[in-house]
Amino acid sequence: MSEPLRLGIAGLGTVGIGLVKLIRDNAELIEGRAGRKVVISAVSARDQSRDRGVALDGYAWETDPVALARRDDVDVYVELMGGDSGPAKDSIEAAIAAGKDVVTANKALLAHHGQALAEAAEAKGRVIRYEAAVAGGIPVIKALTEGLAGNRITRVMGVMNGTCNYILTRMQSAGLPYDTVFEEARQLGYLEADPNLDVGGIDAGHKLSILSSIAFGTQVDFDNVELEGIGAITIEDIEAAEDMGFRIKLLGVSQMTGRGLEQRMSPCLVPATSPLGQLAGGTNMVVIEGDAVGQIVLRGPGAGAGPTASAVIADVIDIARNFRMPVFGRPASMLNKARSARAAVSAPYYLRMNLLDKPGALAKIAGALGEAGISIDRMRQYGHADTAAPVLFVTHKTTRSAIDTALGAFAATGVLLGAPVALRIEMV
Amino acid sequence: MSEPLRLGIAGLGTVGIGLVKLIRDNAELIEGRAGRKVVISAVSARDQSRDRGVALDGYAWETDPVALARRDDVDVYVELMGGDSGPAKDSIEAAIAAGKDVVTANKALLAHHGQALAEAAEAKGRVIRYEAAVAGGIPVIKALTEGLAGNRITRVMGVMNGTCNYILTRMQSAGLPYDTVFEEARQLGYLEADPNLDVGGIDAGHKLSILSSIAFGTQVDFDNVELEGIGAITIEDIEAAEDMGFRIKLLGVSQMTGRGLEQRMSPCLVPATSPLGQLAGGTNMVVIEGDAVGQIVLRGPGAGAGPTASAVIADVIDIARNFRMPVFGRPASMLNKARSARAAVSAPYYLRMNLLDKPGALAKIAGALGEAGISIDRMRQYGHADTAAPVLFVTHKTTRSAIDTALGAFAATGVLLGAPVALRIEMV
């Protein structure tokens, strides 16, 4: 039996404490599977005096995570503080420089500095593992880097922000408007301190950019994720989508096209009966498509102490087993800069607008669509009590730029009340 | 860059040829991910003259798989012939004895001889990997042995025979009886030469016994899988289940109870809206529940050349990366013999029967249920044109032995036409 693997854990919030408990509760099981003991040498957090509900006095305490990362009695530095710069970045860099392996749950850091960190780690022969950074407890990094490693990946999709999915499914099930459910989510503690990280799609976009790198062998390129949040989705959209057999999800899609890599994180319509359409509440789902395997769907909890600790300890056990590989599955030096292809992939679109009740109004809109080269698959006009008639279109496949052209033309018609809504339909 | 990893592939059916093609088509990608080239040294099949649609003349040919397994230019022996004894077993034993690593898709062999093979391999410091043996392209072995390795697994469930799921969903969607759809499946080539391997639940039971071993750290114990096939399921059961919000699936459940390990492969009712209930056609699904992670659901193609080759090459790439671990995730010497607990876990049951149209008939049945200690959650009696009234019960949670007692008592009442049907309801 080898020497114990010694951890230094920085960050003792919900996840950090969840990890400490898991390592204690399942110590024997972890040793059996890892082939050696996994022990905690030292921990780090700002406030040592706070009662965190678990005894920590068996571990050395460091106030400074950089000092923790450099300790001689630490083999693996576990970073659970978060943040795309500052102490998280400094301490991981210090750990690598000191020859430690790293496990982190930090999607923002990897989305912004993944390439540089991977190069630094690989130059020192160290690994950085981050299963917990994407889709919580779902072993999706492992599925992409290992389980489907022989596949040419063609598309990766995912609902990877549980808060947004909670908001959208709660709006639907309770028939409540966005603002009300957003406030509920805030009171339940589901939202980040900066809620735009959630509802603006940024957090999920970070995750998508990491998956893209592994899937397509490109450098992480978060800046080219087309981001669109869920703040403009109304209960009317949700009900109209349902009426046509769709659900609205904040969906990430990453796809290598002839023109380059397209990465989108935006509200999309998906078929109501598809696995993505059926996904309710805070659960996450990732769909991976490869040339050999076809389609694989992974579903599970995207956040929380237990699921996140489960992902972190899996990375630790892999290190204990001496499973070592490049950070993004291929050597960082071999990862190409992605050529970004925004809006490259055509799709059907859902369009919703309120038409003024004037003769010829619908003809003007239909004309604008035709001039933009967009053909109509389905149209519905609903009964109305006031001066505006809600109208829905589902188009045949078209491009985002054609949609933008049409939206511009709509504005010039003078027959719209308010702004129209255009959402992509992703066939899954 | 390390030396190439050299394969010997035995079995050139659909899967073997799929693997040869995948290794050719994705050679560069596989090298990038594996960190070394993966090459084929030699292949083996009975008939060298047959045109298999792919050029094989670059590889040495062995008629005898045992000879292939012993070749000096083979590092990894890939067994894709199948069968729980004979050449598959002999050649894998020969490969291990000759110091080769082994990759196989052979669930029957592992279900019957997994423990002995694991002991032999581990004594020689060799690995046996078998991702393709369970649920085709879904990386479920990897999820259990690695991705969820820090969890105490509480339950594993799965729909793992695509043919049975095809038959059951086709009966439902087309309203056709079992025999008709069975014949369709035979003509489509979906059935094994011995169809009882599929519809008798044996093939799926093999897979379940392998998952149990990994999940619970016990020796593979196929003999104690309670097997029940789908042959007794009628279109009436499917329609009655649907009417009460359920679907019927051939579902494997493995669960560690206070009395020991319970392994069942049987037709069960699951909620129609659950991921398992929504699973249609030949797709497979595995549900894993762990103390830290909660519930993870994996869905994908359970068979076919591409998905199976995807799983095989993932194992090969892991070996190329020198990821080495015990066959069932923990050393074979540490695996305990499972104490088998048949019918340990209680559950609600679905009961369907035809009652003779006599006064007091229903009272006799209800009385028999009460005497067996079974309480009724829901009851439905359908209109009828002849002398027998179809009656359904959904019970509260009870044991299989109480159900068997009640079925015995029903027979003595003299008010039944034909045999009653009792199916477990699995809440998922």
Active site residues of A: 207
State the number of CA atoms in the 13 A half-sphere of B76 facing the CB.
28
Reported as a pLDDT band with limits 50, 70 and 90, residue B357 is confident
Residue B282: partners with Cβ closer than 8 Å, 6 or more residues away? B162, B163, B165, B166, B190, B301, B302, B303
Which residues of chain B neighbour A152 with C-beta distances below 8 Å?
26, 29
Confidence at residue B151, expressed as pLDDT on a 0 to 100 scale: 98
**What pLDDT sits at residue A357?**
84
Q: Give the amino acid at A190.
A: Y
How far apart are alpha carbons B70 and B98 in whole angstroms?
6
Nearest to A150 among B138, B314, B321 (CB): B314
Residue A332 DSSP class: G
**Alpha-carbon distance A175 to A373, whole Å?**
35
- From A115's Cα to the closest Cα of chain B, the distance in A is 17
| Position A1 confidence tier, pLDDT thresholds 50, 70, 90 | low
Per-position DSSP letters for A102-124, written without gaps between them: EEE--HHHHHHHHHHHHHHHHHT
In which band, very low, low, confident or very high, does the pLDDT at B249 lie, cut at 50, 70 and 90?
A: very high
Sketch out chain B's domains with CATH numbers. Answer: 5-133 (3.40.50.720), 140-302 (3.30.360.10), 349-425 (3.30.70.260)
Ordered DSSP codes for A333-390: GGPBPPPB-TT-S-B-EEEEEEEES-TTHHHHHHHHHHHTTPPEEEEEE---SSSEEE
What is the percent of chain B where pLDDT is above 90?
Answer: 90
Cβ neighbors of A99 (< 8 A, separation 6 or more) are: A124, A126
Looking at residue A158, what is its pLDDT?
Answer: 97
A4's enclosing H/E stretch is none
Q: How confident is the model at residue A343 (pLDDT cuts 50, 70, 90)?
A: confident
| Residue spans of beta strands (DSSP E) within A105-227 | 128-129, 153-159, 225-227
**A261 touches A217 (CB < 8 A):** no
Which of A337-346, A349-358, B317-326 has the least mean pLDDT? A337-346
Cα–Cα distance between B176 and B179 in angstroms, integer?
8
**Which candidate from B29, B139, B324 shows the least CB-CB separation from A147?**
B139
Q: What is the pLDDT of residues A280-320, one digit of tens each?
A: 998 999 999 999 999 999 999 999 999 999 999 999 999 99
- Residues A91 and A80: their CA atoms lie apart, in Å, by 11
- A263 CB-side CA count, 13 A: 28
Of the two residues B326 and B192, the one the predictor is more confident about is B326
Residues A144, A157: Cα–Cα separation, whole Å: 12
Task: Pick B148's closest partner by Cβ from A139, A292, A321.
Answer: A139
State how far Cα B84 lies from the chain centre.
Answer: 15
Contact A145 B32 (CB under 8 A): no
What ranges make up the beta strands (E) of B258-387? 260-271, 283-290, 294-301, 349-356, 376-381
Classified as helix, coil or strand, B148 is coil
Chain centroid, CA B13 distance in Å: 21
| pLDDT tens per residue across span A254-263 | 999 989 999 9
Q: At a CB cut-off of 8 Å and minimum separation 6, what does B275 contact?
A: A275, A278, A299, B285, B287, B297, B299, B428
HSE (side-chain half, CA atoms, 13 Å) at B137 = 32
* pLDDT for the residue A173: 94
From CA A226, how far away is CA B405, in angstroms rounded? 63
The residues, ordered by sequence, that sit 6+ positions from B68 with a Cβ below 8 Å of its Cβ are B8, B10, B42, B43, B44, B62, B74, B77, B91
Do the beta carbons of residue B150 and residue A25 sit within 8 Å?
A: no
Beta partners for residue A416, in sequence order: A355
Please indicate whether, in this complex, the C-beta atoms of B310 and A150 are within 8 angstroms of each other: yes
User: What pLDDT score was predicted for residue B8?
Assistant: 98
Q: Which of residues 12-51 of A touch B (CB under 8 A)?
A: 18, 22, 25-26, 29-30, 32-35
Angle subtended at Cα A213 by Cα A209 and Cα A219, rounded to the nearest 5 degrees: 95
Whether B323 has its CB under 8 Å from any CB of chain A: the answer is: yes
Let me know: does A249 contact A229? Beta carbons within 8 Å. Answer: no
Encode pLDDT of B290-329 as tens digits. Answer: 999 999 999 999 999 999 999 999 999 999 999 999 999 9
- Catalytic residue of the set B89, B100, B107, B207: B207
Interface list for B 133-162 with A (CB within 8 A): 137-139, 142-143, 145-152
Residues 209-268 of A with CB under 8 A from B: 217
Instruction: Tell me the C-alpha distance between B234 and B250, whole Å.
Output: 13
Give the pLDDT confidence of B109-160 residue by residue, as tens digits: 999 999 999 999 999 999 999 999 999 999 999 999 999 999 999 999 999 9
The pTM for the full model equals 0.95
Residues in A closer than 8 angstroms to B169, CB to CB, are: none
Counting residues of chain A whose pLDDT is more than 70, the rounded percentage is: 100
Q: Helices then strands (H, E): number in chain A?
A: 15, 16
Helix, strand or coil, per DSSP, at residue B38: strand
C-alpha neighbours within 13 Å on the C-beta side of residue A46: 4
Instruction: Read off the pLDDT of each residue in B320-345 and give the average, rounded to a whole number.
Output: 93
Is B124 a known active-site residue?
no
Question: Which helix (H) or strand (E) is B417 found in, with range?
Answer: strand B416-425
Residue of A nearest to B32 (CA): A330
Determine the distance in angstroms separating the CA of B68 from the nearest CA of chain A, rounded to an integer: 24
DSSP A34-77: HSS-EEEEEEE-S-SSS--SS--TTSEEESSHHHHHH-TT-SEE
C-alpha closest to that of B79 among B49, B108, B58: B108
Q: What is the 3-state secondary structure (H, E, C) of B120-136?
A: HHHHCCCCEECHHHCCC
Determine the residue of chain A that is closest to B285 in CA distance: A297
Average pLDDT across chain B, whole number: 95
Q: What is the pLDDT of residues A196-249, one digit of tens each?
A: 999 999 999 999 999 999 999 999 999 999 999 999 999 999 999 999 999 999
* Overall average pLDDT of the B256-282 stretch: 94
Percentage of chain A exceeding pLDDT 90: 90
Give one DSSP letter per residue of A79-105, joined into a string: E-S--SSTHHHHHHHHHHHTT-EEEE-
Determine the distance in angstroms separating the CA of A32 from the nearest CA of chain B, rounded to an integer: 6
Alpha helical stretches, state H, B321-419 = 361-371, 400-413
What are the residues facing A249 on neighbouring strands?
A268
Distance CA A168, CA B48 (A): 59
Provide the b/e sequence for B142-165 (b: ≥16 CB within 10 Å): bbbbbbbbbbbbebbbbbbbbbbb
Task: Write out chain B residues lying below 8 Å of A25, CB-based.
Answer: 291
Q: How many Å separate Cα A158 from the centre of its chain?
A: 7
- A301-305, A354-358, B20-24: the lowest-pLDDT one: A354-358
Which chain B residue's Cα is nearest to A276?
B275
Q: Mutation target for B interface from A153, A173, A296: give the one with most B CBs within 10 A.
A: A296
Contacts of B370 (CB under 8 A, 6+ apart): none
Q: pLDDT tier at B1 (50, 70, 90 boundaries)?
A: low
Residues A252 and A158 sit within 8 Å (Cβ to Cβ): yes
